[in-house]
Structure 1
Amino acid sequence: MATLVEIEEVTRRDFYSNAKDYWSEVPPTIDGMLGGFAFISQRDIKGSRLLLKQLFHSVKPPDRKFALDCGAGIGRISKHLLLDLFEKVDLVDQNQTFLNQAEKYIGPGLVHKVGNFYCSGLQDFEPNPGKYDVIWMQWVLGHLTDSDLIKFFESSKKGLKPNGVIIVKENVTSHDKVELDEKDSSFTRPLGMLKKLFSLANLECYRQVKQHDFPNSLYSVYMFILKPIDEKFVTSEKNNQNAEIKESTVVEAQYADESNEETSIHHNCITSDIGNTSSDELPVS
């Protein structure tokens, strides 16, 4: 008789193999990467670029030498965003066909700025220690189980340089339940659950921004700037009620009432809407 651990491992393997099978049938195009919503690509990049520009104008910004594009696909984000703002970018994706196309899609004018094309699922990938100024994770974390996501966050923290950050851009549900898409084997998590996972990985939510100008039929999309928690800093913050940056401890957020979203958000992150902020609104780090 199989043990519970063995059953869970089989389920985990099926979860990842099903996702791999799904993406193996997806064409290596922008429309394929965006599930038929290629027309949102420019809006998406514009919102992400604004976030990064604001980050670069903060008091202690990350350097702009090396970024990592997680779940890079054919290199849409690398080509139109990261390679324009960083000296070098590594791409990681589980699909070798996508990575082969990425080299062509990025093109001869930019491909020399790509350091490595890593073919790996994020559940098995560990960034090189101390290598990256920004690790970008967009529309891919739903393909990780909670435990593997925490593990990947923890290994990604080790991959950061001083002042380095992790940036997450993900769909969120409009309620407090996790939704499973059996077709592509992915989760869509509620806002509170995502922030709970950040906290469990000892990541501080430094900034949270909602992406606008997407069709109403799509999930809400949020961007998060995450920093590794300095335990001494967190202890100090607990005793300082006037601190500018609050510690990212998510206790009740998993149960946040979506109708009172702004209140629950402000427990953990400095928040804003992407088109209504300026660079001087970033908190002092």
Structure 2
Amino acid sequence: MASKINLNSEEVGSDCQGSVYKNIQEMWDTELSNKDTGSVINKIGSKDNWYSKQAQYWEKTEATVEGVLGGFGKLHKPDITDSRKLLELLHDKYDLNYGRVIDCGAGMGRITKEFLLHFFKNADVVDQNPKYIEACKQNFKDDKRVVHFIAKGLQELEFPEKYDCIWIQWVCNYLTDEDFVKFLKRCSEALVQNGFIIVKENIAQKGFIVDKEDSSVTRSDKLFLDVFKQADLKVVETQMQSNFPKELFKVKTYALVPAQKKQDEKMMEETEEKTA
């Protein structure tokens, strides 16, 4: 069973089969328990099952742009366009260094190839599916800028380097809240000074929605902010994705830094003002 991490939200959520939960912690306590409550259809049963169902789902998906985008290849261009704008903002406004980046949930390397390597000198790629990592190796076999190819889920990932940017897109919905918080804390430890964590994800209008076919949970903005707070992260910029079909989930991007870092910078500025 997932341990409690003191999420404050009492937003109601549901799953794709009609079960309703008074909050997201009740969902995890119910779904990941091996006890038979009789009130939930096709209960997941354990955290191992939660992650193994994901692996089975993505094993059936082709290592192509259409495959990794769920048949919505047309989203690729507007996705990359908006992400570029945010990265340029962080560079111009906060002096983000274009040194090393890691693409978490990289799939076959779509974002790394079409976006991140247009800015950063070096990149690493991570995906839980070995099939996708092999596709990455083929896609980047002649590009020495891509160094580490890591076939692991984010719940297990230990970062091999320090990074200027940790890019996490359309993969956080596969983490339990407990593992999401732990992962983000490891991200903080893997940042260089003035580095950024970027989370780009589908968001629910309110509460959360559990999809048992691929073991994912779509969280509301409030739930994301609760997780970031638990991970001691501060949101410095956000961006809503534009030019996506209205029938799809809205997509929001969060630019994050360690909260203590921003506090230390503020104290340093105040000290400099007093001594000036």
| Correspondent of 2:112 among 78, 81, 100 | 78
Normalised by the size of structure 1, how large is the TM-score? 0.76
Q: Deviations over 1:229-278 (max 9, x none)?
A: 117817968xx9xxxxxxxxxxxxxxxxxxxxxxxxxxxxxxxxxxxxxx
Contact 1:62–1:162 (Cα < 8 Å) also in 2: no
Q: Which residue of 1 aligns with 2:168?
A: 137
TM-superposed deviation, 1:102: 1.6
Q: After superposition, give the CA deviation of every residue in 1:146-189 in whole Å (9 maximum; x if it has no partner).
A: 000000000010000000000000000112x2111111110100
For 1:18, the equivalent position in structure 2 comes to 53
What is the root-mean-square deviation in Å for CA atoms of aligned residues? 2.2
1:69 corresponds to which of 72, 87, 103: 103
What is the identity percentage for the equivalent residue pairs of Structure 1 and Structure 2? 35
Q: Residue in 1 aligned with 2:144?
A: 112
The count of residues paired between Structure 1 and Structure 2 equals 230
Against the structure 1 CA distance between its residues 216 and 155, is the aligned structure 2 distance closer, same or farther, given a 3 Å change threshold? same
The answer to whether structure 1 residue 49 and structure 2 residue 68 are counterparts is no
Say if 2:238 and 2:254, in contact at 8 Å, map to a contact too. yes
- Write the distance in 2 (CA, Å) between the matches of 1:203 and 1:234: 13
Cα distance in structure 2, aligned partners of 1:28 and 1:122: 19
SS at match of 2:253: strand
Q: Distance in 2 between matches of 1:231 and 1:137?
A: 20
State the secondary structure of the residue aligned to 1:73: coil
Do the aligned partners of 1:43 and 1:213 also contact (CA within 8 Å) in 2?
Answer: yes
1: CA distance, partners of 2:190 / 2:160: 5
Correspondent of 2:153 among 94, 107, 121: 121
Q: Which of 38, 44, 47 is residue 73 of structure 2 equivalent to?
A: 38
Deviations 1:62-90 (A, max 9, x none): 21110000000000000011111100000
Question: Do 1:138 and 1:170's aligned partners in 2 also have CA atoms closer than 8 Å?
Answer: yes
2:180 corresponding residue in structure 1 = 149
Q: Distance in 2 between matches of 1:184 and 1:10?
A: 15
Q: Distance in 1 between matches of 2:53 and 2:126?
A: 19
Counterparts in 2 of 1:89 and 1:174: CA distance versus 1, 3 Å: same
Q: Go from structure 1 to structure 2 and tell me whether the alpha carbon gap of 1:102 and 1:23 turns closer, same or farther (over 3 Å shift).
A: same
Helix, strand or coil for the counterpart of 1:112?
Answer: coil
Which of 52, 55, 64 is the matching residue for 1:29? 64
Instruction: Could you tell me which runs of 5 or more consecutive residues in structure 2 were left unpaired when the two chains were aligned.
Output: 1-28, 36-43, 271-276
Structure 1 residues 113 and 231: alpha-carbon distance in aligned structure 2, compared to 1, 3 A threshold? closer
Cα pair distance change 1:119/1:171, threshold 3 Å: same
Q: Deviations over 1:16-54 (max 9, x none)?
A: 000001000001110110000001101100000111011
Q: Distance in 2 between matches of 1:123 and 1:112?
A: 27
**Contact residue 67 and residue 89 of structure 1 kept, 8 A:** yes
* One of 205, 211, 218 as aligned partner of 2:248: 218
- Corresponding position of 2:196: 165
Q: 1:6 to 1:184 in 2, by over 3 A?
A: closer
SS in structure 1 of the partner of residue 46 of structure 2 = helix
Does the CA contact (< 8 Å) of 1:126 and 1:156 recur in 2?
no
Normalized against structure 2, the TM-score is what? 0.79
Q: Please list every run of 5 or more consecutive structure 1 residues that lacks an aligned counterpart in the other structure.
A: 241-285
Q: 1:190 aligns with which of 220, 228, 236?
A: 220
Indicate if the aligned counterparts of 1:93 and 1:120 stay in contact, CA closer than 8 A. Answer: yes
* 8 Å Cα contact 1:150/1:198 also seen in 2: yes
Measured after TM superposition, the shift of residue 103 of structure 1 is 2.5
